Amino acid sequence: MNAKILDVTADEYFALTDHFSQSVAKVLLSKSPLHARAEIRKEPTKLMDRGNIMHRLVLGKGKDYKVLEFSDWKKDVAKDARDAARKEGLVPVLAHHFEEYSIAAAAIVVRLSDMGIDLDGASELAFEWTEITHHGAVLCRGMADHIWLDTGRILDLKIIDNAAPANVERSAATLDHAVQHAAYTRAVQQLRPDLVGRVQFLFAFCEPGEPHDVNVSEPDGVFRELGEQRWIRAITTWAKCVAEDKFPGYGVNHLNAPMWQLRNEGFTPEEM
């Protein structure tokens, strides 16, 4: 198995399309291989833009941005400026939003430092590795938000409006953060075989709104095992799709009435 660090900028990394990634795996598992293939060419959203800018401000690296002096994107002149920025490979951001993000980013850096996490490793480090399945090899790529490669410590920044433990637990399940944990852990272990079993992955859930609190969470054993199994299932399915050149969608399915609806209509368990 081959693994290596990629000497690319964030823009160059996101322009790469001939690979499998943790984000593609999540779509494959939650939707279908057909959707996973479309994910590789995903269009940016407002939340993605906010995340990219916050990452750049906190980490000092990442996609570049362009601050535009408009109150919103409603007028044609604002839309044209926004579209022009995207064509330049920049993330467009309204000036008042950028001011809010800057304040939040500065506070987040301080909070991380107060918890003993100083961002003195490598930010936005891209890497690729190969996963072997019985359907063939799968080229995978990823980009760690911040990593201390000598010690095998990874920090992943998540910008989330509510970073309370109960909420991030639900968010982690919904967005399948366990898959990302497995993918990046396996990548680092291929890059540094001496770190097998010693990679530490931390999620930093950061609130962009006041008081800009941060919840640093380390996955437990069940979370790690769940991610491992789901990642393996994803790469195995993808390898099979590529080998057969077939990427199925939803297909034909049964549409079942939910149990709660049947109970509301007075059906008894025997009738159901």
Interval 163-193: pLDDT, tens: 999 999 999 999 999 999 999 999 999 999 9
Phi, psi of 67 (to 5 degrees): -85, 125
pLDDT digits (tens, 9 = 90+) for 109-147: 999 999 999 999 999 999 999 999 999 999 999 999 999
- As a whole number of Å, the CA-based R_g of the chain is 21
Residue 267 banded pLDDT, cuts 50, 70, 90: confident
Lowest mean pLDDT, pick from 24-28, 42-46, 134-138: 42-46
**What mean pLDDT comes out for the span 44-54?**
86
Q: What is the mean pLDDT of residues 212-222?
A: 97
CATH number belonging to domain 3-250: 3.90.320.10
Domains of the chain by residue range: 3-250
What's the chain's average pLDDT? Answer: 94
In sequence order, what E strands does 33-178 have? 65-68, 91-94, 122-133, 136-148, 153-159
